[in-house]
Amino acid sequence: MASAFFRKNPALIPLFVASGAGIIGSMTFAGYVLSTNPDVIINKTAPHPWNRIQQHENAKLITINKEFFNSRKGVESPTDRY
């Protein structure tokens, strides 16, 4: 049935391919963010997961200045003071 529809309307094939790729890409990105980003909490047993990030670790998706995190290795964590 679907193959007959696409044979009858071949101009719609790129539309369905682009829409499908967009949906798959957005679901993949959402899964990546939910599994790796410390800003999103799924597990409520860990009340402050962002405190597990060290000073020299990068939690960003895109980093422009990568040397910044390496320069923070010897710096004391500000959370230790409070």
- pLDDT tens figures, 24-73: 999 999 998 888 776 676 766 766 766 677 766 767 667 777 777 777 77
Supply the pLDDT for residue 19.
Answer: 97
Give the separation between CA 79 and CA 28, rounded to whole angstroms.
Answer: 33
Q: What is the pTM of this model?
A: 0.51
The mean pLDDT value for 5-32 works out to 94
**Alpha carbon distances (Å) from 12 to 16, 22, 67:** 6, 15, 47
Supply the pLDDT for residue 27.
Answer: 97
Supply the pLDDT for residue 17.
Answer: 96
